[in-house]
Structures are given as structure tokens and as C-alpha cells.
A and B are shown apart, each in its own frame.
Chain A
Amino acid sequence: MTSLLEVEDLRVRFSTEDGVVRAVDGVSFEVDRGQTLGIVGESGSGKSVTSLAIMGLLRGRFTVEGSVTLGGDELVRADPDFVRELRGNRMAMIFQDPLSSLHPYYTVGNQIIEAYRLHTGATKRVARKRAVDLLGRVGIPQPEGRIDDYPHQFSGGMRQRVMIAMALACDPELLIADEPTTALDVTVQAQILNLIADLQEEFGTAVILITHDLGVVAGVADEALVMYAGRPVEHGTLRQVFYEPRHPYTWGLLSSVTRLDREPEHRLRPISGNPPSLIDVPSGCPFHPRCPYRMLPEPCSTEVPEYAPVNGGHLVACHLSEQERTETFARDILPRVQSSVRKGG
């Protein structure tokens, strides 16, 4: 009980007409103040559902098991009103598409003020001043002139800055950024990531950065958690995950990072196949149907690999032996991703 946020064996299931979706299946991690955890995975890997579960924002017919504690307060079994009080206050979230995530009918000032007044009980004037400050802080030029503008009057990057200002209104201890740069131009992406990193340093916020882009994690995270089919497959420090990745899925992600400075034939190595349906997860290791290093039929298609430490805090869920993993990585993967690893570190 030391870290700000502790997630322990989190499981989220949705019941749908087609069956039970195991969206998150046993995820654990910790994030402390001033730390950034990058959660990486493809669409449907459970990374967004994990964050929505922490925030208590899941909708529909779902069940959550496990434990989430924020500063010692248990959230999963807590009264929904208690969790609601924490939202926007001690924990905040920014979303992927800033245009659709901002209300089109209200000015950005109104939308920032709303959260601040709710949690602090501040007067309109104080809240407005705070909103102007925040807009300035996130890099909106002439904030007092823009506070009464509507979201559609801002560019994509500026809208995401507004979202960040809104999230930071009450100085949250935890900030969850769910694909915050995916909908933005490449040139703006770096600005937004730097902004999040700067603000984190300034306020000591714990940040969870959710992305499908390993490059994004490389830029700002301290630790990385790789998820596949709702399960964690690799978790370690940024150094461990980038320099000594031990899971074939992480290798696949590293090989498929877009890079312009590579030879054309090396440019992209997509992972073959598609992510599995979460209703009908493959037996054994869920990645085995797509894994180039699988051992069939046993144990990969029959036994769920143990999610076990390889050295220090580096956790991997794979049936390959440590020796096989080290050798395969050095032989097959390292030459392919050398430049990106160098840059990523």
C-alpha cells in the first residue's frame, strides 16, 4: 500500500447477446505520483476498458472484479456516488477525439468551470479566473479572449489542450490519457505529449497513457504494460520493455512501428492475423494463433502461460524459456528494430 494507484487482478466482463466478453482478464499494476505508465495494445486489447473501469465510467451490462485503490480508497466496491466525487477531482481523464468529447453547445470556459465549481464550490468569478489560468497553462494563446469560444472554433490540437485544461481543473492526483494524440496531426502529437509531460512534472500527477503506438510510450513513459486480448503479456520499465522485450507480441509491436529512416523492405512488419474475439479467446496463450515462435500443440495452445518475473520487476507471460527468448530476440528482432530501439531509449 504505497503507490497512489494500485490495480489488482482487475477483471471486467460484459454480457452481450453473443455471449460474455472478457474485456479485461486479470490486470495488475501500480502507478505512483509523478510516474507515467504506458499501456500498449491493439484495439480490443482491453486497455480502454481498464481505464474506464478505474474511473467508474463503464456503461451497459458489465461486472467488475478485483481491486482498484486510489490513495488507499477502494473504488471497485465503493458507492458509485463516492467514485463520482473523485472523478474530475482526484482522478481525471482525457479522451481520444477532442471534438466529439467536448460538448458542442457550451463554451470551453463553461465546460472547464463546470467541473471546477462542482468539486470546489468556487464562485463563478473565481472559477472563470481559474479557467483562464488553465487555458494559458496548456498553451492556448490569449486565453481570456478564447474562453467564451465554442469547441468548433478551435483546431484539433487546441481542443485537446482544452480537454487537458478541463482534466487538470481540480489538480487531479491521477490523469488517464486514452489515446490522447491519435486523432491529431503528427506535428501536434509531440506538442500534446510534451505538454502532458511538463504538467506532470509541475503537478506531480500520476499518469496512465493508453496508446497503440509504442513510439508514444517511448517518449514519455517510465513503465510500459503491454496488453493482449484483455490480459497483460509484458510489463516492465521502459528500458526493459524496449531494450530487452521478452514477449513475441511486444516484438511484433516494435517491428511494426512506422519509421521513415528504414529501408523500404524493412519499413513495416505487421503482426499477421487479427486480434481475437474476446468472447471466444483462443485456448492456452491467447496470442498463439498469431505467434511466429509458438510451440504446438503443447504448451502454447493448451496451457495459459504463467505471468512471471524474468528479472527484477520485468513480467512476461510466455511459454518460451528465458534462453530461447533472449536468443530469438538477439537473432531475429534486434537487427530489425535496432534504429527504433536506439531512438526509443
Chain B
Amino acid sequence: MIRYIVRRLIAVAGILLVICGITFVIFYVLPADPATLACGRACTPERIAEIQHQLGLDRPIYQQFFDYVVGIFAGRTFGTGEAAVQCPFPCLGFSYQNNLPVWSLLMDRLPVSASIAIGAAALWLLVGLGAGVISALRKGSLWDRGAMVVALSGVSLPVYFTALVLLYVFYIRLELIPYPEFVNPFTDPAGWISAMILPWITLAFLFSAMYARLTRAGMLDTMAENYVRTARAKGLPERTVVVKHGMRAALTPVITIFGIDLGQLLGGALITETVFGMPGVGQLAYQAIGTIDQPVIMGVTLFAAFFIVFANLIVDILYAVLDPRVRYT
């Protein structure tokens, strides 16, 4: 198991390196010249050359890439002499727009994205799994049909539509909730919840729908298994049969998907953040793409990729813990 984890960690590093390389090449071939962008309006060819030199853009691409990767692990210095700028570990470069370190931009945005992701995840697990299990146990009932219709609309409606409807109903019409604005959860928990509730519901609506359908299908399969009949033959109460014998097996695959979904959302929920004006990682990416702010785009991409790859690893390890038949060597 330890060997497996070590091997996987090495693979994770490899995957991130490849992602990094691909993103790097994509931006290298883009016609936009970062030096010109960084230089601003009043610009001379000399100034551009100077910036190119300072950013290392005059060096060959493999050299630039190498500097970039080394910078992530060891930090790096841009330019030489008086103009030298220190970029400490983990160095993802500086934004061309405001010269702030990409890492600190990401760290500023992470609490927002994490708030959205974790809160929404808690909500959709509760609703999705609960609705799925009950639907499966009452297959064909009014509840089951109703829940599945709602789930179908949840899967079909785009996030920006749900978000706008929620905003309209709860903020404009009912005036129940203040306009969502991120606040620190530790200093103002109540404010945080009321600010985040609409983004949570928006995302949870979509994900609950998917999870309810997954859970329902899983439970229907599991409850028809022979070992569930065995559990009943032992005289176990139906609740124990469902929870200990049915759900345990039915939810294991759902956990796998959950890990990846959560990882993906930690890397930014672009549409939700944008609709609600939440300054999260997704919005950072959106703005950076609009201004071709290459270091920020690179940073966000790597950051998001890291969460997804890492979530995958955690899920695989968790799977071995949950299902004793799975053994990695």
C-alpha cells in the first residue's frame, strides 16, 4: 500500500509536469506578446526588449519552461542587478496586469472557492444521497417519480439559469438574503452562510440531481443482491439491512465520483462565481483569460489540475479502504 501511494505520488508529479508543459506550449504559440502586454500603452521597442529580458522571454522555450518548473519548487529571481525581483517558493510568476505574485492571487481566491465547494458538497451529499436512497427504497412511488423529475430538471438546467432564478426569487422578490458577498467564515459565520447559501444551492441543485440518480441506481442494484437477502434471512431489522448492508456497498462508487467533483470545484466554479460576483479562483481564471495574463492562467490551470489529480489519488486510496477486495500493490 505504501509503495502504491509513493508510486502514485510520482505519477501525480509527472501528470502535473505534462499539464504544465502543454499549457506552456499553448501560450508560447499564442500571437500575443507578454512583454507588450506588460509594458502598457506608452511603450518603446527598447522598453519591450528590456521587459522581455527581465521576464526571460528572450531565452529558448525549453529554458523558459525549465526556469518555470524550478521556480515552483525553489523560487526564482527575475531580471538582474538593480531591477532584480525575487519570487519566493512556490513561484508561479507575476501577473502581467498588476505585478502581484500569482501564488498570492490564488491564495486570496482559494477561501472563496473552497467555501463554495465545501458548502455545496455538504448540501448535495445530504440531499442527493438522501433522495436517492429513499427513491430506491420506494421505487415507483409518487416520491420516487417526483424526485426523479426534479433530478432530471436539476441535471438539465444550466447553472447560470438556476443562479439567476435564485437571485431573482430570494434577493430581488423576497428580499430574504443580502446580495451574496464573500465574508470571512471565522469572523462572521452567520454572514458567511447567508452570503454563500445561493451559490451553494445553485451548485447543489445540479450535483444533488446527479447524485440522487446515481445513488438510486446503486441502491436498486445493491438491494437486489443476494447478500442483502442473506442479511434479511438473519433477521436483521430493515434499517440495518438498508444502512449496513445496502448503502455501504451502493455508496462506495458514489464516493469515487464525489472526490473528483470536489477536487474540480476547489479549482474554481467559474460560472457560479461569475454570476454571483464571488472573487474565487474561477473568476480569477476568467479575468486572466480576458486579458491574456499568461502567468495567472498557467497558475490557475496548474492549481486546478493539482486538485483534480490529487482528489483522484485520495479516492483510489479510499476505495481500497472501503472495499476490502481492492488491494493495490
Contact = CB atoms under 8 A, between A and B. Distances in A.
A88 B230 CA distance: 9
Contacts of B237: 84
Interface string B234-255: 1111000000010011001000
B233 interface: yes
B322 to A, nearest CB: 7
Interface stretch (B144-152, B221-229, B272-280): B221-229
Interface string B250-280: 0010000000000000000000000000000
B41 interface: no
Contacts of A114: 234, 236
Interface stretch (A67-75, A91-99, A201-209, A326-334): A91-99
B231 interface: yes
A309 to B, nearest CB: 34
A1 B325 CA distance: 49
A2 to B, nearest CB: 26
A105 B249 CA distance: 7
Interface string A98-136: 001111110100000011001100000000000000000
A91 to B, nearest CB: 9
A150 B326 CA distance: 11
Interface string A186-222: 0000000000000000000000000000000000000
B231 to A, nearest CB: 7
A86 interface: yes
A96 to B, nearest CB: 8
A85 interface: yes
A87 interface: yes
Contacts of A84: 232, 235-237
A166 B226 CA distance: 15
B233 A103 contact: no
B234 A88 contact: yes
A104 B324 contact: yes
A89 interface: yes
Contacts of A85: 235
A115 B232 CA distance: 10
Interface residues of A, number: 28
Nearest to B249: A105
B249 A101 contact: no
Given A100-B225, A100-B226, A105 B232 contact: no
Contacts of A163: 230
B108 interface: no
B323 interface: yes
A87 B240 CA distance: 14
B234 A104 contact: no
Interface residues of B, number: 20
Contacts of A104: 227, 249, 323-325
B323 A89 contact: no
Contacts of B249: 103-105
Contacts of A102: 227, 230
Nearest to B252: A105
Nearest to A110: B244
A166 B233 CA distance: 10
A105 B248 contact: yes
A152 interface: yes
A122 B227 CA distance: 23
Contact of A118 (B235, B248, B324): B235
Q: Which of A88, A92, A102, A105 counts the most B-chain CB atoms under 10 A from its CB? A: A105
Contact of A166 (B229, B234, B245, B324): B234
A68 to B, nearest CB: 16
A21 interface: no
B227 A57 contact: no
A295 to B, nearest CB: 42
B321 to A, nearest CB: 11
A95 B232 CA distance: 12
Contacts of A95: 226, 229-230, 233
A317 interface: no
B236 A118 contact: yes
Give 5 nearest A-B pairs by CB, closest first: A87-B235, A88-B235, A88-B234, A115-B234, A100-B226
Given A88-B233, A104-B323, 14 more contacts: A84-B235, A84-B237, A87-B235, A95-B229, A95-B233, A100-B225, A100-B227, A101-B226, A102-B227, A103-B227, A104-B325, A105-B324, A118-B235, A119-B235
19 contacts: A57-B229, A84-B232, A85-B235, A88-B233, A88-B234, A93-B233, A95-B226, A100-B226, A101-B229, A103-B230, A105-B249, A105-B323, A114-B236, A115-B234, A118-B236, A150-B324, A152-B324, A166-B230, A167-B233
